[in-house]
Structure 1
Amino acid sequence: MISWSHRHLLLLLFFGFQEARAVLPGTWELLVPDAGIASMHTAVTHFNTVVLLDRTHIGPSRKLLPEHHCQPSQGDPLLRHGRDCTAHSVILDLQTNTIRPLTILTDTWCSSGQFLPDGTLLHTGGDLEGWKKFRKFTPCDANSLCDWEELQDIELSQGRWYATNQILPDGSIIIIGGKTSNSVEFFPPRKSGAVMFSFLGEVEDNQMDNLYPYVHLLPTGQLFIFANNKAVLYDYNTNTVAKNYPILDGGPRNYPSAGSSVMLPLTGDYSSATVVICGGAQYGAYLERTTDTPAHGSCGRIEATGLDPVWEMEDMPFGRIMGDMVMLPTGDVLIINGAQAGTQGFEMASQPCLFPVLYRPSEPVGLRFMTLNPGSVPRMYHSTANLLPDGRILLAGSNPHYFYKFNAEFPTELSIEAFSPEYLSPDKANIRPVLVDLPEKVGYGEVFTAAVTVELPVVGVIEVNFASAPFSTHSFSQGQRLVKLTVTSPVPDGAGKYKITCTSPPGGRVAPPGYYMVFAVNQGVPSIALWVHLGS
């Protein structure tokens, strides 16, 4: 039996690239031709705006700050007169696709982030004077002028460059690793400061493949942490390793070898969690700067909560590095962006992978991957992908150069695009639900009612799913999770309206407190999400 992904590849060979675009699922849309900056960090706020961040010390961007808002250049050799009058962070209004400049003072190069329970984006670390910084962005509506705040009264205990952040069940943030920082610490800061985490040092190699570790909060309250080719079950309360998982074959997967990872949706009684890790560079590509070394396309899948788990291996249709794995409202995973050769780092990759791939976790091995409609814009090093409340995927960034460079084979990319999966196609409009009633806030374990309208009569169950708003950077979305609620069958309430009784997640281990996009999903087609604040 030939899988859908193999059929699609045959179509590519037979019809050619342009013809294949007409038959493969998904559509592309240019949202902003020139955002002024290339975003290496991107996050969606509960005001339906998007925060985009680049680094400083790269000379002027193409987005001016407001008049009289110039900042000291901090020694940037590309800036004249010792000041910078351009933005290195912007905010996108999703209603109008307009861009407003934001002010960032300290270098955010290869930093990390996570939303706090109140919806504030906490941003940590970076390079140079940003190494120990805490920053906050408290989002606001499109008519207000919220901006970055650099915290002055506290700082990181240890400098963090290429670290990973994860919100915990109590709403605090754990900050893990970074270059020369094989430790963990917390926000709000704890008296213990930075605590050494020996696992990161044990997996560090001469390529530094322990950077931007993949971190997933399991429903047990423990952390699944993966770096290089190994993973552990980590108890952050006691700073102990509760379990060592088997080695994942295929070489290193973390920065700079650039695979990606997701935790699959939490469902049922929420006792089980499965992690998937896909792609990566061949070991040595970073050291030898071999831009044409083929990436590998293997994926490992493991039940992280199992008693004696093993990796289940399968192959993607394409080798891929620097791909982003985005959890869709349906529970499928979109793999997008990246390249097919080389490694992460400046000028160190080639052969952009323009084809998104859909990973369908409920299908058997061999039938899980579907090749989708290719884009036309290479999105390689320092690019991002984020789920939007309307179900589209926002694509931003790509700057494989130390500075902005627009006359290269793979130029600095300032545009912002959106990819629409097949579930947004016009022929599915009559089964797409519309959320018309939802509480603005729910507590843990609370029973509440959601109401939807649907053009055609509903057949079967309508899912109600909570999707987090993660911090996307360097091929990993920090804090990404999808929780499928326990629901009753929809009850007709006249005029195409249906009421659904839902039970919210039982606690912070399943869904940490904060704002979630809530999607109703009918026959694989999601609604536009409404935001709900979850917490006790």
Structure 2
Amino acid sequence: MKSLYTNLFPLLAAASLVAGQTAKLGQWDFVGHSGVSTMHGILSPGTNKVLFIERVELATEVTINGKPTYTVEYDLDTNTIRPLTTISNTFCSAGGYLMNGTVMNLGGAESAQEVNQGFNKIRTFEPCNDGKCDWMANNIDLSVLRWYPTVEQLADGTLFILGGANKGVAVNEPKTNVPSYELFPPRGKGGSYPIDFLTETLPYNLYPSVHLLPDSNLFIMANTKSIIFDTKTFTKKTDLPEIPGPPRHYPLTGGSIILPLDPANNYEPEILVCGGADQLTANAKGENTCGRIRPLSKNPTWDMEEMPFGRLMPDIALLSNGDVMILNGCLKGTAGFGKGTDPVLTPIMYNPSAKKGARMTQLQPSYIPRMYHSIAFTVPSGQLLVSGSNPNKNPTGEGPYPTDFRVELFTAPFHFTGQPQPWIKQAPAEIKYGQNFEIELVTYSEKPKIFVNILNSGFVTHSSHMSQRQIWLESELKADKLSLKAPPNGGVAPPGPYLMFVVDNGVPSKAVWIMLGGK
């Protein structure tokens, strides 16, 4: 028996080492195949499913009645796909939610493979759990052609649709630029309206960054410039300082988010922008700086810090505990087919509340290059879904970075503390602004330290996380019930579907869906 136990010691030590590394660095798990190239992704509200959307191309592995299709519903419980109908070409489109939870996908590209053009098309999806829902063509078109537009939900639930090009381009230029915005649902006579900012920021203004501020106005950024845009007058309100460093938008693509909003500091907004590239050549270096700005402060300035390495085409995703993940992309080149090299495999976890210089932690590297057309966002389990990589104009299984159909879940280190996840036993399906409400909660810690947030993981494509948003709620624990207060208004949290997470001593629960809106 002595020799048996002796032989086990190395195995036990190795297992202990792996467990220790997982607790420190997190864990990657391959869970399934997407069937289509996942260059666009969004959660299907009220379900444990995800919608994957790709462009019309030869890479699809999915058919309906023998014909190729380019969009699927991915079930996170079974890791299986259900083919959906392709209404029009969704390549380089945008999207978000209406306040009732309807999924919107709009804009796109030219007709291809017997599929109609999608430049000015709007497609809707009503979530379901019975396997019968599908994409539908909306009876209203966009007023102009939009390729690479951005969508952001306004305080009243209206979708603000901004910018783009009127055809596919490598770099935007005056004859392709679409320097306008429009609203959905349309107001009055509808139509699009000019915005000079998108002329001033040429040529790097495709997929501009747009974030709703708690005062109901918009932070808009393209190239290196940013403004505050008034949503009552729909005019520029304030010019903000230019961010130091190179351009941050396509094809020198960086990423941006609005950091979690907290009632403890009166929901003061702060924008984080990271990555990009320094020139429009194959030798461009991925930018290693991040900038933070408080756009509503008396003297807004960019506070700069450095990542451990540069990153072009990053995904910046909010996590279930309020931290931020910076991942995917590459070290060299520009965005576009075949233009990026040297993938960055190591994700960075960014703690917004830590002191400057101590915010970034390198985590477990992935083994899959996630290059152009990759996505990442938090799902109801509290894990991060990561998929995609379609850097080839005519995708095949060849080349250094072929189109990738693998779906992964990344489990962050805070899931491996040894403390079980808290459990939301019961919660209301709907809440109203400023409402006091209760949820039933099961916790497993000896001294619960509870925080609660609601999260919109956004519509994700091309390093743009449209309408991604996280809000901490006022809370008080009483026995097994947790008293909460909903956000005060639509500027803080636009109406619509959110994931609600309870975080106990840093460990998040699985989420429940909750609808926010009304008074």
> Scaled by the length of structure 1, what TM-score is found?
0.87
Report the counterpart of residue 466 of structure 1 in structure 2: 454
Distance 1:312 1:259 in 2: 17
Report the counterpart of residue 25 of structure 1 in structure 2: 25
The code of the aligned residue for 1:176 comes to L
**8 Å contact kept, 1:267–1:485:** yes
1:187 to 167, 184, 187: 184
Report the counterpart of residue 10 of structure 2 in structure 1: none
Shift in alpha-carbon separation, 1:19–1:379, aligned structure 2, 3 A: farther
> Scaled by the length of structure 2, what TM-score is found?
0.90
Q: Secondary structure at the match of 1:485?
A: strand
The code of the aligned residue for 2:488 comes to P
Distance 1:522 1:19 in 2: 21
The code of the aligned residue for 2:137 comes to E
Shift in alpha-carbon separation, 1:424–1:368, aligned structure 2, 3 A: same
The code of the aligned residue for 1:481 comes to R
Report the counterpart of residue 137 of structure 1 in structure 2: 125
Q: What do the CA deviations read for 1:431-473 (whole angstroms, capped 9, x no partner)?
A: x21111211111110000122112222343x111110131000
The alpha-carbon deviation at position 24 of structure 1 amounts to 4.9
Report the counterpart of residue 442 of structure 1 in structure 2: 431
The code of the aligned residue for 1:28 comes to W
Shift in alpha-carbon separation, 1:105–1:192, aligned structure 2, 3 A: closer
**8 Å contact kept, 2:216–2:231:** no
Q: What do the CA deviations read for 1:13-64 (whole angstroms, capped 9, x no partner)?
A: xxxxx999768511001111x32211110001121110000011x2361112
Q: What do the CA deviations read for 1:152-181 (whole angstroms, capped 9, x no partner)?
A: x31111111101001111111010110221
Q: CA RMSD in A?
A: 1.6
Distance 1:441 1:308 in 2: 38
Distance 2:239 2:20 in 1: 44
Distance 1:120 1:101 in 2: 19
Q: Secondary structure at the match of 1:375?
A: coil
Shift in alpha-carbon separation, 1:436–1:23, aligned structure 2, 3 A: closer
The 5 Å alignment of 1:297-308 reads 297-308=288-299
Report the counterpart of residue 418 of structure 2 in structure 1: 428
Distance 2:387 2:413 in 1: 20
The alpha-carbon deviation at position 144 of structure 1 amounts to 2.2
Does residue 481 of the first structure (1) align with residue 463 of the second (2)? Answer: no
The 5 Å alignment of 1:76-95 reads 85-95=67-77
1:274 to 270, 292, 313: 270
Q: Which runs of 5+ in 1 are unaligned?
A: 1-17, 71-84, 493-497
Does residue 237 of the first structure (1) align with residue 224 of the second (2)? Answer: no
The code of the aligned residue for 2:245 comes to G
The 5 Å alignment of 1:376-391 reads 376-391=367-382
**8 Å contact kept, 1:219–1:270:** no
**8 Å contact kept, 1:465–1:518:** yes
Q: What do the CA deviations read for 1:226-275 (whole angstroms, capped 9, x no partner)?
A: 10001000013312111111010111001111110111111126441000
Distance 2:365 2:478 in 1: 40
Report the counterpart of residue 12 of structure 1 in structure 2: none
Report the counterpart of residue 53 of structure 2 in structure 1: 53
Report the counterpart of residue 178 of structure 1 in structure 2: 164
Distance 1:388 1:242 in 2: 36
Q: Which runs of 5+ in 2 are unaligned?
A: 1-17, 111-116, 166-176
**8 Å contact kept, 1:20–1:373:** no
Q: Secondary structure at the match of 2:242?
A: coil
Report the counterpart of residue 375 of structure 1 in structure 2: 366
Report the counterpart of residue 495 of structure 2 in structure 1: 513
Report the counterpart of residue 44 of structure 1 in structure 2: 43
The alpha-carbon deviation at position 500 of structure 1 amounts to 1.4
Q: What do the CA deviations read for 1:305-359 (whole angstroms, capped 9, x no partner)?
A: 1121100000011100111000112221001111111110000001100001001
Report the counterpart of residue 149 of structure 1 in structure 2: 136
The code of the aligned residue for 1:173 comes to L
Distance 1:340 1:148 in 2: 37
Distance 1:123 1:400 in 2: 22
2:402 to 397, 404, 411: 411
Does residue 256 of the first structure (1) align with residue 254 of the second (2)? Answer: no
Shift in alpha-carbon separation, 1:354–1:155, aligned structure 2, 3 A: same
The code of the aligned residue for 2:131 comes to S
Report the counterpart of residue 312 of structure 2 in structure 1: 321
Distance 1:349 1:19 in 2: 34
Distance 1:212 1:378 in 2: 23
**8 Å contact kept, 1:35–1:63:** no
Distance 1:428 1:228 in 2: 44
The alpha-carbon deviation at position 283 of structure 1 amounts to 2.3
Does residue 283 of the first structure (1) align with residue 279 of the second (2)? Answer: yes
Moved over 4 A (4+): 18-24
Q: Secondary structure at the match of 2:403?
A: coil
Report the counterpart of residue 75 of structure 1 in structure 2: none
**8 Å contact kept, 2:24–2:413:** no
Does residue 213 of the first structure (1) align with residue 211 of the second (2)? Answer: no
Identity %: 38
